[in-house]
Amino acid sequence: MTESMLAYSILPLGALAAILVAWGFLALLLGLLHKKAPEAPAGALSAAELSSQDQSVSPAIDRADLQVRRGLAFVIATPLLALAACAFGILSNLADDYGYALFGVALVGAVFWTLAFLIHKNARERRREAKWKDEAMGLVARAVAPLAERGHVIFKDFKAENINVDYLIVGPKGVFALQRQIQSTGGHSGSDSEPLVTYNGRALFFPHGREHLILDWAQDQAERFSEWLSQGLETPISARAILALPGWRVKRISADGISVINPTQLEALFQYIKPRPISSGEMQTIVARIQAHYAAGWHAPNPQSISQPA
């Protein structure tokens, strides 16, 4: 009995081993052939550089594309390997008269094809999510770009200890710390169908519920940056927080709280926001201090020490 069971399992086990080896080989080969997208630069950016970032492929989409290709390769290779194992078993007389061995190969092939299909499907979903996030970040980049043409200095991805700011905007009206929050819109797309979020100065009211942590986080990051920037300056500088919600129409019902906008409203915000003027000398000092921070190549000692709401 034991010998017969072993005889029946040789072919399915061989097929299993072949599939696993093939998956590993394909994953390694596609990884070696894959060309990574370049990381977007940080630091002071011109309007042209902001626009070029909007058109480039993000690393997140790049990684998702690689996983989709790997999943597709697994989907194609798995049934071919199962058929090859069946053919090998018949030609080499490893298949028994009752077909148990061939049934085992078919079962292994079906299980691993289902697994490959799920891997491919999940990878495509992650790619769709990455594309949505990339599109949302592109909306913010396109909104910020015109400010660089109007005399503002734009810094992207400023990081210091316990500080993480998406965009710093330094200009005649003051210093601003802009954070982007990529919040799912539930399948809505296009300006005419953007879902509505209501803002009362203390909390955001999305269709799925109330949220205030992202407001507290944006304000906290602006305050921390203000403390960092004011060190060594004769006059303390207070950076104002701005929260951008790409894909959402923002209905503000109170004048209280930080600025919360759809990215397309950024230019209008800077036209009407109350200025906190800084002199040209102060602006040069601020820009030089931030540029020196980027030039020093600062990295957080512990990336998890910079907290951000999910």
Choice between 304 and 151, residue whose per-residue pLDDT is larger: 151
Q: What pLDDT is recorded for position 46?
A: 55
Q: What pLDDT is recorded for position 39?
A: 59
What is the percent of the chain where pLDDT is above 90? 39
The pLDDT tens digits for 132-145 are 888 888 889 889 98
Query: Mean pLDDT throughout 256-261?
Result: 92
Q: What pLDDT is recorded for position 168?
A: 94
Assess whether pLDDT exceeds 80 at residue 95.
no
Q: What pLDDT is recorded for position 302?
A: 36
Assess whether pLDDT exceeds 70 at residue 187.
no
Choice between 161 and 243, residue whose per-residue pLDDT is larger: 243
Assess whether pLDDT exceeds 90 at residue 120.
yes
What is the percent of the chain where pLDDT is above 70? 81
* CB distance 27 to 70 below 8 Å: yes
Q: What pLDDT is recorded for position 151?
A: 84
Whole-number mean pLDDT of the chain?
A: 82
Please tell me the distance from the alpha carbon of residue 270 to that of residue 266, in angstroms, as a whole number: 6
Query: Mean pLDDT throughout 258-287?
Result: 89
Assess whether pLDDT exceeds 60 at residue 301.
no
User: Where in the chain are the domains?
Assistant: 2-41+57-136, 150-305
- Of the listed ranges 20-29, 97-106, 175-184, the least confidently predicted one is 97-106
What does the buried/exposed string (b/e) look like for 258-295 if buried means 16 or more CB atoms within 10 Å of the residue's CB?
bbbbbbebbeeebeeeeeeebeeebbebbeeebeebbe
Q: What pLDDT is recorded for position 202?
A: 92
Assess whether pLDDT exceeds 70 at residue 45.
no
Query: Mean pLDDT throughout 284-305?
Result: 71
pLDDT band at 310 (very low <50, low <70, confident <90, very high): very low
pLDDT band at 305 (very low <50, low <70, confident <90, very high): very low
Q: What pLDDT is recorded for position 133?
A: 85
Please tell me the distance from the alpha carbon of residue 230 to that of residue 224, in angstroms, as a whole number: 10
Query: Mean pLDDT throughout 178-206?
Result: 79
Q: What pLDDT is recorded for position 300?
A: 42
Query: Mean pLDDT throughout 151-170?
Result: 91
Q: What pLDDT is recorded for position 273?
A: 86
pLDDT band at 85 (very low <50, low <70, confident <90, very high): confident
Assess whether pLDDT exceeds 80 at residue 231.
yes
